[in-house]
Structure 1
Amino acid sequence: MRKYYIDHLRTFLILLLFPFHTLRMYTLTESFYIEGTPHIIPTLFISITSIWFMNLLFVLAGMSTAYSIQKRSIKEYCKERFSKLLMPFIFGVVLTVPIQTYYAERFHNGYTGSFIEQYGLFFTKITDLSGYKGGLTPAHLWFLLFLFLISILSLPIINFVKKNGRKPLKKGNLWRMIPLFFIIQIFSIIEIGERIGQYMTYFIIGFLVLSREENLEEIQKNQMPLAIGAISLLAISSLLDMMGVLGKINSIGIFNLLTVAISAVRHAASWLTILALIGFGRKYLTGTNKIFSYLAKASFGIYFIHQTVIITIGYYVLPLVPYRSVQSLVIMILSFIATIAIYVVLKRCPVLNTLFGMKKSQPVRLEHVVEIG
Structure 2
Amino acid sequence: MENKRLNYLDNIRWITVVLVIIYHIIYLFNNSGVISNINVKGIPVMDTFLIFVYPWFMCLLFVVSGISIRYSLEKRSGKEFIKDRAQRILVPSLLGIFIYGWISSVITNQYVDMFAGNGDKIPGIIKYLVYCLAGIGPLWFCHVLFIGSLLIVLIRKIDKKDKLTEMSRKINLPVLFAMVFLVWGSSFILNTPLITVYRFGIYLFMMLLGYYVFSNQELIIKLEKISIPLAIASIVIGIVYVATYYGQNFADNNVLNDLFTNIYLWIGIVSILGIGNKLLNFENKFTQYMTRNNFNFYILHYVVELLLGYFIVTYLDLPFMINYIIILLGVIIILPPLIEIVKRIPIIRYMVLGIKKRNSD
Q: CA deviation at 1:360?
A: 3.9
Match of 2:90 in 1: 86
Greater CA drift, 38-47 or 308-317: 38-47
**Residues 87-128 of structure 1, C-alpha deviation per residue, up to 9 Å, x if partnerless?**
1121001111101111221244499999xx876414247xxx
Does residue 1:54 correspond to 2:58, yes or no? Answer: yes
Match of 2:149 in 1: 151
CA–CA distance in structure 2, aligned partners of residues 273 and 189 of structure 1: 20
Match of 2:318 in 1: 322
Match of 1:344 in 2: 340
Q: Structure 2 counterpart of 1:38, which letter?
A: G
Match of 2:264 in 1: 269
1:137-216 maps to which residues of 2 (within 5 A)? 137-159=135-157, 164=162, 166-167=165-166, 173-190=172-189, 191-192=191-192, 193=196, 194-216=198-220
Does residue 1:281 correspond to 2:281, yes or no? Answer: no
CA–CA distance in structure 1, aligned partners of residues 134 and 247 of structure 2: 32
CA separation of 1:35/1:179 partners in 2, compared to 1, >3 Å: closer, same or farther? same
CA separation of 1:243/1:80 partners in 2, compared to 1, >3 Å: closer, same or farther? same
Counterpart of 2:214 in 1: which secondary structure? Answer: coil
Contact 2:347–2:356 under 8 Å retained in 1: no
Q: CA deviation at 1:81?
A: 1.8
Contact 1:69–1:162 under 8 Å retained in 2: no
Greater CA drift, 305-314 or 83-92: 83-92
CA–CA distance in structure 1, aligned partners of residues 169 and 85 of structure 2: 33
Does residue 1:26 correspond to 2:29, yes or no? Answer: yes
Contact 2:156–2:162 under 8 Å retained in 1: no
**Residues 302-356 of structure 1, C-alpha deviation per residue, up to 9 Å, x if partnerless?**
1111100100111111231411111100011102221112101011012112222
**Where in structure 2 are there 5+ consecutive unaligned residues?**
none
CA separation of 1:122/1:173 partners in 2, compared to 1, >3 Å: closer, same or farther? same
Q: Structure 2 counterpart of 1:351, which letter?
A: I
Counterpart of 1:51 in 2: which secondary structure? Answer: coil
**Where in structure 1 are there 5+ consecutive unaligned residues?**
126-130, 365-373
CA separation of 1:7/1:235 partners in 2, compared to 1, >3 Å: closer, same or farther? same
Contact 1:234–1:266 under 8 Å retained in 2: no
Q: Structure 2 counterpart of 1:222, which letter?
A: I
CA separation of 1:181/1:360 partners in 2, compared to 1, >3 Å: closer, same or farther? farther
Q: Structure 2 counterpart of 1:16, which letter?
A: L
Counterpart of 2:246 in 1: which secondary structure? Answer: helix
CA–CA distance in structure 1, aligned partners of residues 175 and 50 of structure 2: 30
Contact 1:300–1:358 under 8 Å retained in 2: no
Among residues 309, 313, 332, which one is paired with 2:308 in the alignment?
313
CA–CA distance in structure 1, aligned partners of residues 128 and 72 of structure 2: 37
Match of 1:371 in 2: none
CA separation of 1:99/1:214 partners in 2, compared to 1, >3 Å: closer, same or farther? same
CA–CA distance in structure 1, aligned partners of residues 167 and 204 of structure 2: 24
CA separation of 1:360/1:14 partners in 2, compared to 1, >3 Å: closer, same or farther? farther
Counterpart of 1:37 in 2: which secondary structure? Answer: coil
Does residue 1:15 correspond to 2:11, yes or no? Answer: no
| C-alpha RMSD over aligned residues | 3.0
Contact 1:302–1:339 under 8 Å retained in 2: yes
Aligned residues: 345
**Residues 249-281 of structure 1, C-alpha deviation per residue, up to 9 Å, x if partnerless?**
9x9x97xxxx89x71111111111111111111
Q: Structure 2 counterpart of 1:345, which letter?
A: I
User: TM-score normalized by structure 1?
Assistant: 0.84
Q: Structure 2 counterpart of 1:358, which letter?
A: I
Indicate the percent of aligned positions where both proteins have the same amino acid.
24
CA–CA distance in structure 1, aligned partners of residues 274 and 51 of structure 2: 23
Match of 2:7 in 1: 4
CA–CA distance in structure 1, aligned partners of residues 339 and 160 of structure 2: 35
User: TM-score normalized by structure 2?
Assistant: 0.86
Q: Structure 2 counterpart of 1:277, which letter?
A: I
